[in-house]
Chain A
Amino acid sequence: AQSVAQPEDQVNVAEGNPLTVKCTYSVSGNPYLFWYVQYPNRGLQFLLKYITGDNLVKGSYGFEAEFNKSQTSFHLKKPSALVSDSALYFCAVRVVSGGYQKVTFGTGTKLQVIP
């Protein structure tokens, strides 16, 4: 089955330190990968996507993600974490079925940035 996996339920990082939120994928063909963020009591907000091209993708709020085809990973990174980055982060993959797409989300990783 085509899917994404987020192995960590929660990641804790000190403010100012670099952060990484992990994601691995399993799809047939070329993957379209996304990261979304969810703040409390809000809908999901798009952060960034990888479709083709440079393996390092830059997105909103200083986040970036690195596509690694050999490791089938798409980890989210930020050089210096802010307390305001604390939220729920979802990796997602476009799955093609019957000629139509649907976006399938991972289970989410709660990021806690400690002041």
Chain B
Amino acid sequence: EPEVTQTPSHQVTQMGQEVILRCVPISNHLYFYWYRQILGQKVEFLVSFYNNEISEKSEIFDDQFSVERPDGSNFTLKIRSTKLEDSAMYFCASSAGRVGEKLFFGSGTQLSVL
């Protein structure tokens, strides 16, 4: 089965630093998402992306966050100035269609902000 790939698997950074989390969605998918999960608990929606623009974002996704699809295969999440509370597992997901399609998730990037 095709996979969503995320790198790195672990990222440690100092508070205030910028981080970029990388994802390679499944090649023929059109819809891309970032979710995060704190301490194995609730999975929280961050943002959805379609046709090279953000289609939906949550209240978590403030001005410190941005997403980009720079080259037609990668999908990145940037946090400009990390805070301690940004420490979480970040999951990328993609889907082929919009209505009722299942999401394919990557294995996640564990971000630790010190």
Q: Would A103 and B105 be within 8 Å (CB), given that A32-B100, A43-B91, A94-B100 are in contact?
A: no
| A29 part of interface (Cβ distance < 8 Å) | no
Residue of B nearest to A34 (CB): B102
| A98 part of interface (Cβ distance < 8 Å) | yes
- Residues of B near A105 (CB, < 8 A) are 35, 42-45
**Contact of B43 with A101 in the complex, beta carbons under 8 Å:** no
Q: Would A97 and B40 be within 8 Å (CB), given that A43-B105, A44-B91 are in contact?
A: no
**Contact of B43 with A44 in the complex, beta carbons under 8 Å:** yes
- Residues of A near B44 (CB, < 8 A) are 105
Residue of A nearest to B50 (CB): A100
Q: Would A100 and B55 be within 8 Å (CB), given that A34-B102, A105-B43 are in contact?
A: yes
Which residues of A are interface residues toward B (Cβ below 8 A)?
32, 34, 36, 41-46, 49, 51, 88, 90, 94, 97-98, 100-108
